[in-house]
Chain A
Amino acid sequence: MTEHESIEEPILPPRETLDTWGVPELPDDFADRVVAAWAAGAPPVALARPRRWWAPAAAAVMGAAAAALIAWWIWPGSSPVEPGSQAPAARPFEPAVTRPAPGRDDVSIVVDVSPEDAHLRVREADRTVAEATGDLAATLPAPGAAGYTIEVEHPGYHPQSTGLTFEGRAAEVRIELVARTEAAPADAAGSADAAGPAAEADSTEVSPKTEAPPSREARGSATLRIGTEPGAAPARVEIDGKAVGTTPIARFDTVSGTHRVRWTWADGRSVDRTVTLDIDEVRTLKAE
């Protein structure tokens, strides 16, 4: 008997018990919001483009056109020849595509970001050459001597930027943003060198994020709404030892972090709760 088979399958409480823990309904426009968010964040550089049904046919047509062009170019008699002279040697293959400017080659770049929906831009000087929401895999013109700058940002996180210079033709970079409740990285700008030409398909993974100890000093605003359970009498409320009024308290603006809330009723009974609020969080608390 394997180790798996030796463990009996656990029996969970009956379904009617588990189903008491319900789930609220989503708003009616949830699907529209998701689609709008997807459309707004669609990356201009093809990364995971959906397959198009016509793609194989298009590729075949282009291949046939290229083959016809080559055949016309090298076919005897297709090139101008003086009568009586020997036919010129077949010209070397030159596909009908635009080649990069002399001295510049394309480079392959892969940027892995965290969180996964962070927005990133690849810039050369003051020009954006590529941008995406989420990871990026692209072939770009090789940059000049100053290289590229990769900028990554996401709401709730400290933005980061890093320089990227190339000695070879490929680079892979991973950038992890730091949440705003933690200290910003000490050195967000750095430079990363790509793999040399000998490592044609290899790439160097660089993590420009500088480890910084998390700080609890970073704070923002947060809001509490305080009440009592239906049927319970109103109660006086103290937050962090300070009286703030009697329930219901529709809105109490405070700072993010940990707070102590106390309800006290006329009969002397009291209830204490400790809550931890994130920046911009709105929390409703009730007691009975």
Chain B
Amino acid sequence: MVVVARTEPAPRRPVEIAPKVLAAAIDGEAWAFRELVRFYQRLVHSVVWRMLGSPGRRAFAEDVAQEVFLRAFRSLPRYEVRGDTPLSAWLLTIAVRTSIDELRRQRPVVTPLDVVAVPPSAGARPDEAAEWTSTARAVRRAAEDLTPEVRAAFILRAYHDLTYPEIAAALEIDLGTVKSRLHRARKALVEHLGEFRHD
């Protein structure tokens, strides 16, 4: 079991990168690319990691996260700086679509047994840590029961607070489909967490 000694989850709606850095990145400045990656890497990686749903393939998730940024760099000149889409949401769109592409290419991975869990605090009792690990495992299994498209909607809503219209734009679906996918996600979560609570 891998336990991440981090007590604060990543912020849901991140502050966006400074406009000057973004402008320099659009102009192709290498230092600005590096700053952009450092600023958003946690955001992008969290989506890719949860989308791929396979903790045993850590290096693969890093490779996919890298590919997300390379795709973003290629498309950056077309990003509308004064448009309605924040850069973070734009990157999240690329991240979920890249992850869905990878999931469609890969065969389903069976039975990863280790899980990354966030303990309640550094001084958590062993039983508390075990409970958190079990909860983390249940959440992960619930997510893995979902199709990539449903999982994407769930991750964007649950972990990144995207609005329904933003999710619809990212996944190129309508609002009704966003809601129905989140209903399916909720049903899977209730099944797994409900089973866990009765153990």
User: A interface vs B, CB < 8 Å?
Assistant: 3-4, 7-13, 17-27, 30-35, 37-39, 41, 47-53, 116-117, 134, 179, 229-230, 273-276, 278, 281-287
Contacts and interface: CB of A to CB of B under 8 A. Distances in A.
Given A26-B62, A116-B71, A134-B74, A10 B106 contact: no
B31 to A, nearest CB: 9
Given A20-B132, A287-B113, A53 B27 contact: yes
B26 A50 contact: yes
Contact of B110 (A12, A25, A274, A284): A274
A214 to B, nearest CB: 10
Nearest to A229: B1
Most chain B beta-carbon contacts within 10 A, residue among A18, A30, A32: A18
A35 B37 contact: yes
Q: Is the interface of A mostly helix, strand, loop or mixed?
A: loop
Contacts, number: 166
A155 B42 CA distance: 26
B9 interface: yes
Given A21-B139, A287-B113, 8 more contacts: A12-B154, A19-B118, A23-B42, A26-B41, A31-B37, A35-B33, A51-B77, A53-B27
B73 A38 contact: yes
Contacts of B13: none
A18 B158 CA distance: 7
B107 interface: yes
B81 to A, nearest CB: 11
Contacts of A33: 66
A34 B30 CA distance: 11
Contacts of A17: 135, 139, 193
B65 to A, nearest CB: 7
A276 B108 CA distance: 8
A91 to B, nearest CB: 40
B37 A12 contact: no
A274 B112 CA distance: 10
A273 B109 CA distance: 12
B182 A12 contact: yes
A26 B65 contact: yes
A135 B130 CA distance: 49
B17 interface: no
Nearest to B23: A53
A185 to B, nearest CB: 16
Complex A-B, nearest 6 residue pairs according to Cβ-Cβ distance, in ascending order? A50-B28, A22-B118, A31-B37, A20-B136, A21-B139, A10-B186
